Amino acid sequence: MADAPLLPHDRGHELWTMEDGPSRKLLASIDRWVGAMVGDDGIDMPLSGGGPSIEATVFARQDGLIVGCAVVDYMLQIWSPSVRVSWFAGDGKRVSSGDEIAVLTGARDDVLAIERPVLNALGQLSGIATETKRWSAIAPKQIASTRKTIWGLLDKWAVHMGGGLTHRLSKNDAVMIKENNLATMHEELDTHTERLVTFLQSVDVSEVGAFLEVETRSEKEALMAAMVWSQRRTEQGVDRLVIMLDNFSPEECKAVSEQMEDQEIREHVVLEASGGIVFNDLKSWHECGLDVISTSVVNRGVQPLDISMLVKGL
């Protein structure tokens, strides 16, 4: 695939940077989800500390990528302030089976009460990051998550840490026009293609947010969208349009990309495939001329990384 400008789907910097760590946006999401995690585990007020001081080691039972330390830091700060954590493997660090990740020190009752929420957060987010890394190793800078998430922005953060693209951070982050949107637009027009073309000719690009994306269901729709947008880019200098090829095969995606190249309109669009993408065929998707491969498989239904905690002395 030819070199291209940065993809609009790459929005992880709004959640996390290596220099500053979690952003305010991510911290707000952490606050919401941590409250639910501890609340559902019966913790409805900050733990007050009980019993002698103990030390417990958190360690990996399998190889993977650690993500979730920022969540645990916040969880302990707000809900279990007597417990201190020392990290050996921070966010984004690779670990092998048997490696120590952290040591928790604090009142016995508090350490044991907060154990499960801590391990749940670390395991789930590390599992997402590890799976994303597996996918992005085959298709680097192409794998994007979707808005089909379990823990919202926390999922997006874990995907980012695993080398994937976040895509939209929320519905309002960017405008995506799908078939249900078009069904309610320009009802005087008979076909999906006519409505798509009319929308692209008239949309106010100042109101689309981070980027504009349209879903297409056929080669004709994709080519028509690209032709209309190439004219707008030439005349108005607007940003590239993201065209989703919905449920296209790798061969169909390649044909669309090649036709756009032949018509000299490929440079005006970002091509994204979505639907029916599986890991075993990922190499074919990577090599078929796409810019982005979006899937919820990297974060939904992912096996959590196996992480345990043992109290010193056991």
pLDDT tens-digit readout, 38-74: 999 999 999 998 889 999 999 999 999 999 999 999 9
Q: Which of 2-16, 161-175, 202-216 comes out lowest in average pLDDT? A: 2-16
Does the structure show a pLDDT above 90 at 185? no
What is the rounded CA–CA span in Å between residue 29 and residue 20? 17
How confident is the model at residue 1, as a pLDDT? 38
Tell me how crowded residue 296 is: count the other CB atoms within 10 A of its CB: 17
Burial of 186 (0-12, 13-18, 19+ CB in 10 A): middle
How confident is the model at residue 274, as a pLDDT? 96
Kindly report, residue by residue over 258-271, the tens digit of the pLDDT. 999 999 999 999 99
Does the structure show a pLDDT above 90 at 183? no
- Dihedrals phi, psi of 135, to nearest 5 degrees: -70, -45
- Residues written for the chain: 314
Q: Are 241 and 225 in contact (CB under 8 A)?
A: yes
Strands (E), the chain: 16-17, 21-22, 53-60, 64-65, 84-87, 94-95, 100-107, 143-144, 175-177, 212-216, 241-246, 269-274, 292-294, 307-311
Structure tokens at 246: 């919905």
Mean pLDDT over 289-310 rounds to: 96
pTM of the entire structure? Answer: 0.95
Does the structure show a pLDDT above 90 at 190? no
Query: In the block, which residue shows the tokens 């078929």?
Result: 288
How confident is the model at residue 2, as a pLDDT? 42
Mean pLDDT over 222-237 rounds to: 97
Q: 307 forms bridges with which residues in the sheet?
A: 60
Show the domains of the chain with their CATH numbers. Answer: 12-134+303-311 (3.90.1170.20), 165-294 (3.20.20.70)
**What confidence category does residue 255 fall into, taking pLDDT thresholds of 50, 70 and 90?**
very high
Kindly report, residue by residue over 67-118, the tens digit of the pLDDT. 999 999 999 999 999 999 999 999 999 999 999 999 999 999 999 999 999 9
